[in-house]
Structure 1
Amino acid sequence: SLSSASWRPWLSHAWDRGTALLFAWVYLWVEVLRYWSARIGQLLWRPTAEQTLMGQLAQATRYEDYYQAATSLDCLTTTATTRHRRDVNHRLPTAVVTNDDWRRNPISRGYDYQLIIRRLELLCAMDMTRDLPAMVYVLRSGLVRNLGGINERHMFTRCYAGTTKLLIEEYTFRLVNILHFILRTEAPKTVPRHLKASFFYDTRQCYGRTALLLQGGTTFGLCHLGVVKALYEAHLLPQIIGGTAVGALIAALVCCQTDETLPGVLQTNGIDLSALTRAPGKDRFRLKLARFIQFGYLLNVKVLERCLRDNIGDITFEEAYRKTGRILNIMIPSTYASEAPHLLNYLTAPNVVVWSAACASTAQLGLFEQVSLVIKDPLGTLVTWSTPMAPSSDSSSASRSSGGGRGSGWDGWGDVHQPFSRLAELFNVNHHIISNASPHQFPWVVLPKPLGQILCFHGCHPIRTLARLVWDEVRYRLQQLHMLPRFLTPFAMAGGGSNFALLSSSSPFLPAPNLPTANDTLCPVTISPSFTLRDFYHMYSRPTRESLRYWILKGEQATWPIIPLVRNRCLVEFTLDYALDFLNQARKHTPASNRDKPAPLLRRRRTISVQ
């Protein structure tokens, strides 16, 4: 027994060392085989120019690099198309052209190119003759955002750079040049300044305005910062910005920054994350589980309050508008199902503190604690509003028993018809740019990569057409299922069905219905980043400086392909806004004796046009 006891430790030690050496030997040979297989693969298989450029697109960290690689790829990518004569509808033999050749050819079935050619010739003739009355007459009667279908989404999806026909771009820039000519013309006897301001105001009123909507997102909502950064660097950031849930936090952070401080925030240097720093020595999972069991919510909303107050302070909606000129809109859920969601801005809630409204928008059952709004009285003291603007447990249970509550939580825009119609009433918004970062809506907003590569490939192959038809049919039927509870609620209430609450709370995993627009042919621009399984693992992680840069880059990469589309849709609108601001500033610096006599209509609108 003594001899066996003496050699057993030695045998165990030798076994451990032998096992370790064996694993090390196997790992060494695996690494050697992997290295030489990669080297041999590089020698035998060389990537094509298109594959190299596609890799540069995926790894681009700046829009300039992305655009350069995309334009080079458009010059190489060839597509088989059916040509048509310009004068008659006669098909010619199929030709293989690049995306750049497609841009240079104005003929296409996707838009009314003949109408655009006639309008462009008229604009060029007026620009050559400098006929100011004719310019004013033509623009007032024919300035439409989607004239002839020039701003349809399918006209901007063929090229990797997101560009469209050169004819469409030339038409848009010609309109902008004529507007600048009308603005800069010094002809007070022909067109007085007040008539010029009235022209630009009426034209913008007819043309409509654009709103950027940041929707939902948990930690994915940090991608909204990347969307804002890409639009801001391209000088395409709308003046009207709205948000819900995490999107409301990002919208509040952006709309409370001036043009001098906003670049620092978008670079993450100007964001104070001290409130989100984890306290050492605490079991975070056990703390969250105990909070959920005891209070019914998972995350502490006080952390969001401290973070927002550290970054924007106790500023109200009206103070934020006067400080930055940006119109912040935050929608929070209503208390009862019969009420419309509350849209807060500097007109509807001027004295409400921004950080309280943003935290109330993030209130979801089981995720954040419901909070009440905070207002600032005339003395500057913060006072809690007596009526909470987020659903409480009692009201949620009562509304669920009646068959139509919002107790399932809040994420997105809820009843989409209410806030969009309210934005149109208050600010004449008829065009929307939607940044959708909701994780449960991601499969329905963006196609999965294998299916997306099949459906987005340009051509007329029957299999691709059938796949697109099947995918659209699935989306349509699921949207019908999403809308079904609204149609069945009156019948269930009439029949006394109390178990209809399960059906009335529509599933968050169904696709949201189509968003309403002023023009049914012009759909909103939807931006949704592509997420990986690793991103879903960090869905509820606290943001750090490194993770902020990661999410911002994801938002930028999702925005770069649609920048030409946004520019073509919004360039005329932003030119009209610039003209109104220029005329208002010029009027302020003009002596009272030299001012033109304002028209009665302009005098009534003065408070609206000065922004």
Structure 2
Amino acid sequence: METYVNRLKPSMTANGHQSDSNEVPPTPSKSKSAPTQRSSSRSNKKRSSKSTNSTTSEFSLEHVNEDHVADFLQALSCDHLTQNDSGPEHIAASSQLMSPLRSLKNSRKNSKKKKQDEGGSPNGLSHTLLKYPFVFLIGCTMFVELLLYLGLRQSVRIWESLFSWRGKRRELRTHLRNSTTFEEWCQSAKNLDDHMKKEEWKVNPAYGFYDYRLIQKVIKHLKLYREKDDSESADNLKDVLYACLKQNFAGIENAKLYSNTYLGTKYLIDEYIDEVTKSIEALVKSTHIGVDDKRLAFRLYSKNYGRSAFCLSGGAGFGYFHLGVIRALLDQNLLPSIITGTSAGSLMGAIVCTRTDDELRHVLVPDLAQRIQIAHDSWTTKLTRYATTGAIFDSEQWCRDAMWFTRGSLTFKEAYERTGRVFNVSVIPYDAHSPSKLLNYITAPNCVIWSAVLASAAIPGILNPVVLMQKVPLSGRLIPYNYGHRFKDGSLRSDIPAQALHNHFNVNYAIVSQVNPHIHIFFYANQGSPGRPVTHRSGKGWRGGFLASTLEQLLKLELSKWLKVLRDLDLLPKVLNQDWSSIWLQKFDGDVTILPKAGLRDWFYILADPDAKRLTQLMKSGQLQTWPKIAMIKNRLRIENSIAIGRRRIRESLKSSRKKKTVASKAMDQQGSGGSGISDDGVSGDEGKYMDEFKFLSGRRLSMPGNIGGGGGDTDAIQGSKLLKEEQRRLKFLSQFTDTPGLGVVGMENSASYIGSSNKNINSSNNEPLIPYGGDNEVDDYMSDDETDVEL
């Protein structure tokens, strides 16, 4: 299902391939054609042994731009300006970042200067004397607790294998794990549910983790209003949808609803999702509501319900597990349009966000391994490079390799226009005190994606911090971004930038693929996870028993406590000028968290390129770990996509009606009658938009259905006390569909004062903008109907 509007369509070349309309045309430079051919020939020689006849044309394409590589190397070789920002720019012969040998020689020379610069660091006598003894004691305590934790986890695993999975249950689970397609997995999961007698749980609507009575009432009213064909029912349908189209309404997004079965959830939840999507479609097609009212209603639906994002964590060699997760979501048309990646996740996200769905289906195959040559150097070369440059990988080599994954030097804006996907990359400045940045087509539209990917993967000691590059629109050349300051791995502080995504795109639902090896080992679903119920006591107990779950939680909290003590008391030494405590002390999960099934053997490949056989295993593992979450993700995205499709159709109808009005207006102009440029209700601009929200939220009818209000309705003029009275009636009507009875859509304490003040200004001619209902005094980008691609 297409959930976006592609405004920039790629053109077709003579050989039938899609050509990037945003690819920089070759300039008449002497240094471009010959080096490009030599580079292509060298790359082809390296990959000739791995190429097969089944390789698609996508893998044979080369996207290296030698001019852009030269611009990048020049930016890396330039020193920053001095602190006084004066003097000529100095071009260094080597990297600004000193190797370990040179830094050791210069450490004594610059010790006095560092003491003067680091005025914010604690330097008390007791802190100096007790710092390292405390670090030693805390480190020993944490080491013992970590051993106990790992031993406990292995004990639970052995216990479950020996006593929980026996006989027919073990046989069914083996079939489940050996599934090769999603359909086969669903059948195996259904057989396992039937064997464990989960069907009775699905049929019975009662459950303590959601308000099933409220859901039943909403289904009843939605069906009633949807089947009636009159104006009153259409208005009621719109109001009920406004009440229930909210995140986690009545608890339907609670993960526990999906953690008691291997496939699906309560049948009442499925019935609710079906009825909501049908009601949304019926409201779009309704002829009893004007197009402007529909536009406003669906804008508010979208804002209240929010959007979903797909977050790809870092994880070095474990990052290739993301490819299986992406493939599983792509096959089910459940890939969100907002994608964020950090470190290794940014490289996988770049593949997705620079290619269309059809291109992805040809790329996400085991043959992709032939293009992965990031770590092909020998360890002798890597150690030699680390001794001379301070990093085991070369930035220039990674730059050339990354260009294939990003289809050349595409910018964030160009990738968004090409695919309709919003790509986000999390990076942090090299300065230890600067906040992290989220790069996307809004915050850094002209920033080149491959430079952001390199910056997000620049772990100290692995890859030196790099300069972000941005494309000059007219010339197509690259220049440094943000005055040439360097950036490094974003996962050190912001592996899952949930708050930044919410601020930019109204994201309130995160689907996280978490593969960080130091993080996923601490995920322990003591009461099961979506698609993976607890086997103890037929899913009603605790994983490994209550005692084991208690010890696991206590040990994990103890480890977290000591890490916070080391961080807050500034006890942890800064290795490679980096505070490493944040790699554990941040939020790593989401509303849906997909974890890899990794073993000790996988740690030996953490800095190695996978071959086709290993990539096949990683992708299959990723798919098997994603399939149990499909039901939960699908129910969320069904409603979200229905709202987006409704907005698109209403927008098309609105554009069509505006064209008709434009034709009529031109005809009137020819007859000598010109318009005033003011809307029909006497307001324009933002004031008109605020008035629309007020009209929707402040009650439009003099009566409500059923026993609430009664009587006929005159909607032409509602003034003063009548307006307040009708708002109270409307809130009473909506209270039966909200979690807080009597409260309704907005607080009653604000309704009277707002209605009283706004009623005086409805027909006023002053130019002061009205405040939207509920106190929100800004109009967000994702609320605008002009930004069509952002919505879909």
2:172 to 44, 53, 58: 53
Aligned to 2:547: 466
Q: How many angstroms apart in 2 are the aligned matches of 1:341 and 1:459?
A: 42
- Cα deviations by residue, 1:214-256 (Å, 9 ceiling, x for unpaired): 0001111011111111112222211110010000111111011
What's the offset of the Cα at 1:309?
Answer: 1.2
What's the offset of the Cα at 1:144?
Answer: 2.0
- Cα deviations by residue, 1:517-554 (Å, 9 ceiling, x for unpaired): xxxxxx62111111022222222111333333222211
- Cα deviations by residue, 1:545-575 (Å, 9 ceiling, x for unpaired): 3333222211111111111111223321121
Letter in 1 for 2:473: P
Aligned to 2:493: 414
Q: How many angstroms apart in 2 are the aligned matches of 1:454 and 1:71?
A: 16
Q: How many angstroms apart in 1 are the aligned matches of 2:648 and 2:565?
A: 46
- 1:468/1:276 Cα in 2 relative to 1: closer, same or farther (>3 Å)? same
Other structure's SS at 2:357 match: coil
Q: How many angstroms apart in 1 are the aligned matches of 2:186 and 2:438?
A: 37
What's the offset of the Cα at 1:589?
Answer: 6.3
Q: How many angstroms apart in 2 are the aligned matches of 1:447 and 1:303?
A: 41
- 1:49/1:588 Cα in 2 relative to 1: closer, same or farther (>3 Å)? farther
What's the offset of the Cα at 1:457?
Answer: 6.0
2:504 to 426, 443, 462: 426
What's the offset of the Cα at 1:355?
Answer: 0.7
Contact 2:314 2:495 in 1 (8 A): no
Other structure's SS at 2:335 match: coil
* Structure 2, unaligned runs of 5 or more: 1-165, 665-678, 693-778
Other structure's SS at 1:299 match: coil
1:337 to 421, 432, 442: 432
Other structure's SS at 1:479 match: helix
* 1:112-511 pair list within 5 angstroms: 112-130=211-229, 131-161=233-263, 163-185=264-286, 187=287, 190-268=288-366, 271=368, 273-274=370-371, 276=373, 284-311=378-405, 312-379=407-474, 380-385=476-481, 387-391=483-487, 410=489, 412=491, 414-415=493-494, 419-446=497-524, 458-460=539-541, 464-485=545-566, 487-489=568-570, 501=574, 505-507=579-581, 511=584
1:104 to 203, 227, 230: 203
Q: How many angstroms apart in 2 are the aligned matches of 1:278 and 1:462?
A: 39
Aligned to 2:100: none
Contact 2:342 2:495 in 1 (8 A): no
Q: How many angstroms apart in 1 are the aligned matches of 2:216 and 2:399?
A: 55
Aligned to 1:548: 615
Other structure's SS at 2:253 match: coil
Contact 1:275 1:306 in 2 (8 A): no
Contact 1:179 1:575 in 2 (8 A): yes
- 1:370/1:239 Cα in 2 relative to 1: closer, same or farther (>3 Å)? same
- 1:477/1:112 Cα in 2 relative to 1: closer, same or farther (>3 Å)? farther
Q: How many angstroms apart in 1 are the aligned matches of 2:642 and 2:537?
A: 33
What's the offset of the Cα at 1:103?
Answer: 0.6
Contact 1:226 1:554 in 2 (8 A): yes
Aligned to 2:635: 568
Q: How many angstroms apart in 1 are the aligned matches of 2:506 and 2:247?
A: 14
1:583 to 650, 660, 670: 650
Contact 2:514 2:588 in 1 (8 A): no
- 1:274/1:570 Cα in 2 relative to 1: closer, same or farther (>3 Å)? closer
Other structure's SS at 2:339 match: strand
Instruction: Indicate the larger mover: 337-346 or 594-603.
Output: 594-603
Other structure's SS at 2:209 match: coil
Contact 2:210 2:250 in 1 (8 A): yes
Contact 2:308 2:511 in 1 (8 A): yes
- 1:610/1:532 Cα in 2 relative to 1: closer, same or farther (>3 Å)? closer
Aligned to 1:608: 787
- 1:416/1:246 Cα in 2 relative to 1: closer, same or farther (>3 Å)? closer
Q: How many angstroms apart in 2 are the aligned matches of 1:542 and 1:462?
A: 36
Q: How many angstroms apart in 2 are the aligned matches of 1:200 and 1:539?
A: 46
Letter in 1 for 2:299: Y
Q: How many angstroms apart in 2 are the aligned matches of 1:462 and 1:301?
A: 46
What's the offset of the Cα at 1:455?
Answer: 6.8
- 1:487/1:222 Cα in 2 relative to 1: closer, same or farther (>3 Å)? same
- 1:376/1:287 Cα in 2 relative to 1: closer, same or farther (>3 Å)? same
Contact 1:432 1:525 in 2 (8 A): yes
Letter in 2 for 1:203: Y
- 1:454/1:511 Cα in 2 relative to 1: closer, same or farther (>3 Å)? farther
Other structure's SS at 1:347 match: coil
- 1:429/1:330 Cα in 2 relative to 1: closer, same or farther (>3 Å)? same
Residue 164 of structure 2 is aligned to residue 67 of structure 1: no
Letter in 1 for 2:579: S
- Cα deviations by residue, 1:75-99 (Å, 9 ceiling, x for unpaired): 111xxxxxxxxxxxxxxxxxxxx11
What's the offset of the Cα at 1:323?
Answer: 1.0
Letter in 1 for 2:276: L
* Structure 1, unaligned runs of 5 or more: 1-46, 78-97, 392-408, 493-498, 517-522
Q: How many angstroms apart in 1 are the aligned matches of 2:227 and 2:191?
A: 35
Q: How many angstroms apart in 2 are the aligned matches of 1:264 and 1:335?
A: 37
Q: How many angstroms apart in 2 are the aligned matches of 1:581 and 1:272?
A: 39
- CA-based RMSD of the aligned residues comes to 3.3
Residue 689 of structure 2 is aligned to residue 592 of structure 1: no
Q: How many angstroms apart in 2 are the aligned matches of 1:112 and 1:49?
A: 35
Letter in 1 for 2:278: N
- Cα deviations by residue, 1:369-396 (Å, 9 ceiling, x for unpaired): 32111110122112233644545xxxxx
Q: How many angstroms apart in 2 are the aligned matches of 1:514 and 1:248?
A: 18
Contact 1:360 1:389 in 2 (8 A): no
Contact 1:53 1:73 in 2 (8 A): yes
What's the offset of the Cα at 1:73?
Answer: 0.9
**Paired-residue identity, %:** 27
TM-score w.r.t. structure 2 length? Answer: 0.59
TM-score w.r.t. structure 1 length? Answer: 0.75
What's the offset of the Cα at 1:454?
Answer: 6.8
What's the offset of the Cα at 1:275?
Answer: 6.5
Q: How many angstroms apart in 2 are the aligned matches of 1:441 and 1:414?
A: 14
